[in-house]
């Protein structure tokens, strides 16, 4: 499921200060821990380690301050604790509770007495107490909760960091996460004011919106009258997209820098696991063991937290806060990352060199002042160069390229039978199952199902090659609620409801302008359009957000539009929005009702309060966030500058080649006053 919210960003101040959320989460954690007095042993659900790591440095909890003596992962097997208090922090999963019950029973058998506290995330659950009761240990446990809600994972992206959501919703039918999301969104409303509008698409989006509005009426009724807030200017609208609306995008291979790191190395809770040699300054010829680095996640390994740092790999937090270079790189198409790195390297080199020529003491002082910055940049550069070197060989493999080719062909609905055969070849060659399944589902979704004969033969291939135990998985992919892998035509016995779930990809491709031709003339267009992230394919979810907030961007080529826009007006206001499709006050799905109606699932459009006329006060930047798949971030200062600069240059130097213009623009960036490094 993906939900998105959208904030305004006026030219002067950045959107919402989501760091408050982090502070709240941190404080709640500390409070929860302090509610148990004295020294305690902390037992942590491994799946929470990542999210908690984004909120606070988990190891800091140790020591006197919060009384945490030792930390362990929550795992079956004996637990030895020297402290009287044992605190468990976990999600309310049945398996976890059983482990806890087992610990308590073991301790009782060894007649060791402890005080047990279970902090459930995000709230107390009846099932947990029931199971503890069935295990006969309910009386020994104090159950409490730690309400961990949205975690900011970037300055413009917040997430619940809830694992397995997709499976829970669409396979198990467990809607807990919807309720939790509604609760978390209520918190957001309390912090930033109510959402004037809720716009969305998909059945679960509808469910979430209903819960939210219902709880809203409850929330306002309990607050005293003077607290009744007026519609705020902080948030224009909440956009909820349920993952069912766009199953296609996560099946494709992400092609941005960050996307590829995720595909090939694996990013989890904003952390990536890297060879130690990449992270520590003294590097010795890194990348030969590259091809063997698989995304092994040591979070699952049942060892004390302290021991995570063992072996040669280390988790690294990929964040733009400490790594400005990453901010520039993360959303670049991988093809241009090399160039970018090269440029930064050269600039760094020059910076170091100019400093050699310092003559006066004042100059020297300036240099020393800058030295720290240069070194962190140097360090970042080394990291990202190393990371790219890790990735490049992986992108050169035959299977990787073959699968890209199949993806592109399927998106264009080009020779589907040939693509199916190609998928079969991939199985024969022993490609990873995940790649094969993604392609197969993609084929089913884009073509509205796969011919029964072909489908069965491929399924059979998969079962034989990867094991018959995957039969339930294949069945799950085909259940009506998911419908990712369907036969064509559908068997007559299936109800009409599931046939209505067929995804109208072919018509969307046209109406939402999903595919951009990669002919040379369109190159410009690709640069300005979101489709650059998949080298020519625009994610449906992003297009849907554009349908709401940037209608122009869906209909036509932003670059062209820009030209006419510039001619029309040259005011300062206009200048600020160069290079970008002008966003507009949000009026729901207006103009795209027909398109949206063809997508299966309910359409949501709720106005929470009679909104004050929202006046367009500058460009609105869409911040879309998805818990399911990749995410699209707001443009960085640099991106904005470049877009603006490019259009300006296009005007002033119409004869210049695109490449040169780009070069000139980047040179200007160096001296631009918007550049945070130029002060």
Partner 1 sequence: MQEGTFFYRRQQCYSIPGKLPELDDYVIAGCRYGGPIALMRDQTKLLALGRSTPAITKAQIQVYSPAGEGLLIFSWDQSKIIRFGWTIDEQLAVLNEEGVYRLYDLQGEYQQHSLGTEAAELGIIDARIQDNGFVALTTSLTLLEVKGWEGSRPLTLANPGLTEPPHSWAVIPPDLNISRHVEVLLSVDATIHTVDNLESVDQRLSQGPFTHISPSPNGKSLALLAFSGTLLVVSSDFQRSFAEFDTLAVAGVQGPVKQVEWCGNDAILVTWTSLAVLVGPFGDTLHYTYSGSTFAITEIDGVRVLGEDVCDLIQKVPASTLSIFKPGSTSPSAILYDAWESFTKKSPKADESIRSIRPELAKAVDECIDAAGQEWEPHWQRRLLNAAKFGRGFLEFHNPTDFVHMGQTLKVLNAVRYYEIGIPLTYLQYNYASPSRLITRLTARNMHLLALRISGFLGLKPDTVLKHWACAKIMRSRPTTTGVGKDAELGGDEEVCRLIVKKFKEVGGVEVSYADIAKKAWEVGRGSLATKLLDHEPQGSDQVPLLLSMKEDKLALIKAVDSGDTDLVYHVLLHLHKRLPLGSFFRLLEEGGKALIPAGKLLEVYAREQNREMLRDFYYSDDRRVESAVLSLDEASRMLDQASKITAVKTAQKFFSEDKDRSFEAKMTDESARLLVFQQQLESEANGKIKFFGLTVNETIRTCLLNGLSKRADKIKSDFKVPDKRFWYIKLHALTESRDFEGLEGFAKSKRSPIGYEAFVHHLVEKGYPKEAVPYVSKCDSPKRADLFVKCGEWRMAGIECKERNDKAKLDELRKRAPNSLIARELDQIATTMK
Q: Which residues bind partner 1 (CB under 8 A)?
A: 34, 37-38, 94-95, 98, 123-127, 130-131, 134, 139, 142, 172-176, 178-179, 182, 207, 210-211, 218, 221-222, 224-226, 398, 424-425, 427-430, 456, 459-461, 463-469, 471-472, 475, 491, 493-494
Give the nearest distance from C-beta 456 to partner 1 in angstroms.
5
Closest CB to partner 1 among 418 and 523?
418
Does the bond joining 352 to the residue before it have cis omega, within 30 degrees of 0? no
Closest CB to partner 1 among 157 and 477?
477
At 247, list the tokens.
């199953």
Give the nearest distance from C-beta 230 to partner 1 in angstroms.
18
Determine the distance from the C-alpha atom of residue 275 to the mean position of all C-alpha atoms in its chain, rounded to a whole number. 23
Contact between residue 116 and residue 81 where contact means Cβ atoms under 8 Å apart: no
At 292, list the tokens.
């063997």
Contact between residue 675 and residue 641 where contact means Cβ atoms under 8 Å apart: yes
Contact between residue 1 and residue 629 where contact means Cβ atoms under 8 Å apart: no
Separation of alpha carbons 564 and 651, rounded Å: 11
The burial class, CB within 10 Å (0-12 / 13-18 / 19+), for 75 is middle
Closest CB to partner 1 among 123 and 648?
123
At 76, list the tokens.
């079956």
Give the nearest distance from C-beta 14 to partner 1 in angstroms.
33
Give the nearest distance from C-beta 137 to partner 1 in angstroms.
13
DSSP-H helix ranges across 569-678:
572-576, 593-598, 637-652, 658-671
| Long-range residue pairs from 112-115, CB within 8 A, at least 24 positions apart, any chain | 113/84, 114/81, 114/83, 114/84, 114/85, 114/86, 115/36, 115/84, 115/85, 115/86, 115/142
**Total number of residues shown for the chain:** 679
Q: Which residues contact 441 (CB under 8 A, 6 or more apart)?
A: 247, 251, 477, 484, 485
Give the nearest distance from C-beta 39 to partner 1 in angstroms.
9
Separation of alpha carbons 39 and 86, rounded Å: 9
CA distances from residue 46 to 74, 90, 141, 297, 298 in whole angstroms, order as listed = 7, 8, 21, 11, 9
Give the nearest distance from C-beta 144 to partner 1 in angstroms.
12
Closest CB to partner 1 among 139 and 369?
139
The burial class, CB within 10 Å (0-12 / 13-18 / 19+), for 157 is buried
Closest CB to partner 1 among 385 and 419?
419
The string of DSSP letters for 400-441 reads HHHHHHHHHHHHTT--HHHHHHHHHHHHHHT--HHHHHHHHH
Give the nearest distance from C-beta 122 to partner 1 in angstroms.
11
Closest CB to partner 1 among 111 and 564?
111
Give the nearest distance from C-beta 126 to partner 1 in angstroms.
4
Closest CB to partner 1 among 115 and 611?
115
Closest CB to partner 1 among 369 and 491?
491
Burial 15-34 (b: 16+ CB within 10 A, else e): bbebeebbebbeebbeebbe
Closest CB to partner 1 among 149 and 582?
149
Separation of alpha carbons 517 and 535, rounded Å: 10
Give the nearest distance from C-beta 203 to partner 1 in angstroms.
12
Give the nearest distance from C-beta 421 to partner 1 in angstroms.
10
Closest CB to partner 1 among 121 and 255?
121
Closest CB to partner 1 among 174 and 674?
174
Closest CB to partner 1 among 134 and 593?
134
Separation of alpha carbons 572 and 570, rounded Å: 7
Give the nearest distance from C-beta 598 to partner 1 in angstroms.
24
The burial class, CB within 10 Å (0-12 / 13-18 / 19+), for 149 is buried
Q: Which residues contact 366 (CB under 8 A, 6 or more apart)?
A: 358
Give the nearest distance from C-beta 293 to partner 1 in angstroms.
17
Give the nearest distance from C-beta 13 to partner 1 in angstroms.
31
The residue written with tokens 């998105």 in the block is: 4
Separation of alpha carbons 529 and 523, rounded Å: 10
Give the nearest distance from C-beta 170 to partner 1 in angstroms.
11
The string of DSSP letters for 539-550 reads -HHHHHHHHHH-
Separation of alpha carbons 31 and 29, rounded Å: 5
Based on its alpha-carbon atoms, the radius of gyration of the chain, rounded to whole angstroms, reads 27
Separation of alpha carbons 459 and 475, rounded Å: 10
Closest CB to partner 1 among 175 and 651?
175
Contact between residue 447 and residue 416 where contact means Cβ atoms under 8 Å apart: yes
Separation of alpha carbons 107 and 621, rounded Å: 55
Closest CB to partner 1 among 39 and 348?
39
Closest CB to partner 1 among 221 and 360?
221
Give the nearest distance from C-beta 574 to partner 1 in angstroms.
45
Give the nearest distance from C-beta 251 to partner 1 in angstroms.
23
Closest CB to partner 1 among 425 and 660?
425
């Amino acid at each position: 499921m993906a939900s998105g919210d959208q904030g305004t960003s006026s030219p002067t101040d950045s959107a919402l200060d989501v760091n408050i959320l982090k502070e709240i989460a941190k404080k709640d954690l500390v409070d929860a821990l302090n509610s148990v007095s004295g020294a305690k042993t902390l037992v942590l659900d491994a799946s929470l380690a990542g999210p908690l790591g984004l909120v606070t440095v988990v190891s800091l909890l140790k020591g006197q301050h919060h009384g945490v003596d030792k930390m362990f992962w929550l795992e079956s097997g004996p637990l030895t604790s020297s402290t009287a208090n044992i605190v468990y922090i976990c999600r309310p999963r049945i398996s976890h509770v059983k482990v806890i019950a087992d610990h308590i029973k073991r301790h009782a058998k060894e007649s060791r007495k402890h005080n047990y506290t279970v902090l459930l995330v995000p709230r107390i659950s009846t099932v947990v107490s029931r199971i503890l009761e069935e295990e006969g240990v309910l009386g020994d446990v104090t159950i409490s909760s730690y309400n961990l809600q949205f975690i900011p994972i970037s300055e413009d992206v917040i997430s619940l960091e809830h694992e397995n959501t997709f499976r829970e919703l669409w396979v198990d039918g467990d809607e807990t996460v919807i309720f939790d999301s509604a609760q978390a969104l209520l918190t957001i409303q309390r912090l930033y004011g109510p959402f004037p509008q809720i716009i969305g698409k998909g059945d679960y989006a509808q469910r979430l919106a209903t819960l939210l509005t219902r709880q809203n009426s409850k929330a306002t009724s309990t607050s005293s009258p003077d607290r009744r807030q007026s519609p705020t200017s902080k948030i224009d609208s909440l956009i909820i997209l349920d993952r069912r609306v766009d199953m296609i995008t996560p099946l494709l291979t992400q092609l941005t820098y960050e996307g590829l790191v995720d595909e090939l190395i694996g990013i989890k809770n904003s952390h990536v696991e890297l060879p130690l040699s990449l992270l520590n300054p003294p590097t010795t010829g890194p990348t030969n063991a590259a091809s063997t680095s698989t995304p092994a996640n040591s979070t699952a390994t049942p060892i004390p937290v302290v021991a995570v740092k063992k072996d040669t790999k280390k988790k690294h937090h990929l964040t733009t806060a400490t790594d400005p270079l990453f901010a520039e790189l993360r959303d670049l198409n991988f093809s241009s990352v090399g160039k970018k790195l090269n440029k930064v390297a050269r600039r760094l080199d020059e910076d170091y060199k100019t400093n050699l020529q310092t003559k006066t003491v004042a100059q020297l002082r300036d240099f020393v002042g800058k030295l720290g910055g240069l070194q962190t940049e140097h360090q970042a550069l080394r990291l990202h160069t190393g990371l790219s070197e890790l990735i490049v060989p992986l992108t050169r493999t035959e299977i990787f390229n073959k699968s890209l080719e199949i993806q592109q062909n399927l998106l264009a609905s080009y020779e589907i039978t040939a693509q199916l055969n190609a998928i079969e070849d991939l199985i024969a060659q022993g490609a990873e199952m995940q790649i094969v399944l993604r392609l197969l589902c993609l084929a089913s979704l884009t073509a509205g199902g796969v011919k029964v004969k072909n489908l069965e033969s491929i399924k059979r291939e998969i079962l034989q090659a990867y094991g018959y135990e995957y039969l339930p998985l294949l069945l799950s992919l085909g259940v009506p609620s998911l419908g990712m892998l369907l036969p064509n035509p559908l068997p007559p016995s299936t109800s009409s409801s599931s046939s209505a779930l067929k995804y109208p990809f072919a018509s969307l491709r046209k109406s939402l302008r999903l595919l951009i031709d990669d002919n040379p003339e369109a190159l410009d267009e690709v640069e300005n359009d979101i489709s650059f992230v998949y080298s020519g394919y625009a994610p449906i979810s992003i297009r849907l957000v554009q349908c709401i907030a940037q209608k122009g961007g869906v209909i036509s080529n932003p670059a062209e539009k820009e030209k006419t826009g510039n001619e029309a007006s040259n005011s300062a206001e206009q200048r600020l929005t160069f290079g970008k499709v002008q966003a507009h006050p949000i009026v729901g799905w207006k103009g795209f009702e027909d398109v949206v109606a063809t997508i299966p699932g309910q359409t949501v459009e709720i106005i929470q309060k009679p909104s004050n006329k929202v006046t367009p006060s500058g460009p609105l930047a869409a911040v879309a966030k998805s818990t399911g798949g990749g995410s699209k971030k707001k443009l960085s200062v640099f991106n904005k500058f470049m877009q603006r600069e490019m259009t300006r240059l296009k005007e002033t130097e119409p004869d210049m080649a695109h490449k040169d213009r780009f070069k000139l623009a980047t040179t200007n960036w160096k001296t631009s006053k918007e550049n945070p490094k130029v002060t």
